[in-house]
Amino acid sequence: MKKTILITGWTGYIWSHWVVAFEKAGYKTVIVDNLVNSNLETLENIEKILWYKPDFFEVDLRNKEKLREVFEKYDFDWVVHFAGLKAVGESCEKPLDYFDNNIVGSIKLFELMQEFGVKNIIFSSSATVYDSSIYERKNFSWAVETDITWNTTNPYWTTKFILERILKDLANFSGFRVMNLRYFNPIWAHPSWFIWEDPEWIPNNLMPFIFKVANGELDELKVFGGDYDTVDWTWMRDYIDVVDLIDWHLKAYEKINKPHPNPLLKGEGIKEVWFFKTYNLWVGRARSVLEMIKATEKVVWKKIPYKIVDRRPGDLASVYCNPKKAKKELAWEAKISLEESLKNSWKFYNK
Ligand code: NAD
Ligand code: WQD
């Protein structure tokens, strides 16, 4: 009997890749999404890869009654929770929208999980929970899972921090089994080039911009800031291939059922054994904006015109995390080379 997974926010960029990986791994996926930042074209594209359409329900997580109807239809083994608004800048303009969408929506989901006895969850958290003071304090070495701080500086970060804490309590007091995964810059496209990150409007992230300049859709790349204390004065990031990232999620699921001692909480009513694990999922190599431009030029065989402009408001400082714990405990690491990732993406943007 196939294990059935409820995936929230699947039509989004990363999670459309997830559906393909998990269906191919033998799981049945059921997807809910309100299409606030995606469209049904993704479903058509996934069908081109899988030769069938997974079950999809257009549901806003905050509509508990409609979401309950989905829970009533299936016997879910676990939930992969990706639905959420994710833009740091936008969250600063609309804090309450982010709190309502990401926190209230997630709580409705958790309530139904509890009601229907579905206790396994993989949560898509973010390295946004590591603030730049960590890097300064550690002389810009790589953040590890315990480096989280509560002093959030943008509403998006606040939602991730709060949801991690809620899930930790549900693991302690309500029997939830939680795999809490933090990453930051998933990029590229599926080798089939049927699914990719291609927001319908002008892209926000670096790589869609670079490729749209390479294919002539945009004239030049604006490099936000050229005065940072890095190898070439532009921001560093650890970019991970989205297919690698999703494969790592598969590994994480296999571990979700392994109990382990509760290292953080002792005391009345706290179970000694619990199921709450956090992992940084990263390549472990930071690259600057200019390095990414040069690497892309080698693949597309053309110069990428760019202009260094002012820093982007709200831009995080160099962000990179140490993936050592995940590599060791999940026995996995990123495999896809930068060149292969760039070639996969260029196949799409150069269509
Ligand atoms: P995305 O916007 O492409 O996908 C999110 C999906 O969730 C969209 O399809 C959207 O329509 C849906 N959604 C949003 N609110 C909803 C609601 N209330 N009810 C139902 N569906 C809803 O974003 P993504 O890049 O695929 O990211 C997915 C998850 O991964 C998010 O939780 C994000 O915070 C997290 N994440 C993303 C990145 C990144 O750089 N892309 C990095 C770290 C973590
Ligand atoms: C990468 C680097 C820019 C575009 C975002 C979200 C964050 C997280 C990951 C969810 C930065 C520079 C970019 C451009 C540029 N999502 N850049 N010119 O900012 O690392 O993080 O995605 O957790 O919440 O904010 O990603 O791809 O936008 O930028 O110079 O046109 O490229 O300044 O240094 P970022 P990004």
pLDDT tens-digit map of 15-62? 566 677 777 788 888 999 999 987 788 777 778 777 788 899 999 999
- HSE, side-chain direction, 13 A CA sphere, residue 240: 27
Once rounded to an integer, what is the mean pLDDT over residues 136-150? 76
Separation of alpha carbons 279 and 325, rounded Å = 7
- Each residue's pLDDT tens digit, 265-275: 566 666 566 68
What number is the average pLDDT over the span 272-293?
A: 87
Spacing, Cα 233 to ligand 2 middle (Å) = 16
User: Residue 193's pLDDT is what?
Assistant: 45
Q: Which residue, judged by its Cα, is nearest atom 35 of ligand 1?
A: 124
User: CA angle, corner 87, sides to 5 and 32, nearest 5?
Assistant: 25
Residue pair 280/143 in contact (Cβ under 8 Å)? The answer is yes
Contact 292, 208 (CB under 8 A): no
Pocket test for ligand 2, best of 126, 289, 291 (most atoms within 8 A of CB): 289
As a whole number of angstroms, the distance between CA 261 and CA 249 comes to 22
Q: Which residues sit with their C-beta closer than 6 Å to ligand 1?
A: 9, 11-15, 33-38, 60-62, 82-86, 101, 105, 124, 126, 183-186
Q: Among 265-274, 294-303, 319-328, name the most confident range.
A: 294-303
Mean pLDDT across 288-312: 95
Residue 156 a catalytic site member: yes
Q: Which ligand has the nearest atom to the CA of 222?
A: 2
Q: Which ligand is closest in space to the CA of residue 280?
A: 1
Query: Could you say which DSSP state residue 104 is in?
Result: I
Q: How far apart are CA 142 and CA 134, in angstroms?
A: 9
Q: Which CATH superfamily is domain 4-349 in?
A: NAD(P)-binding Rossmann-like Domain (3.40.50.720)
| pLDDT (tens digit per residue) in 154-183 | 899 999 999 999 999 999 899 999 999 998
Query: Residues of 129-150 as b/e, b for ≥16 C-beta within 10 angstroms?
Result: bbbeebbeeeebebbbbebbee
Domain boundaries, the chain: 4-349
For residue 176 the two structure tokens come to: 């939830």
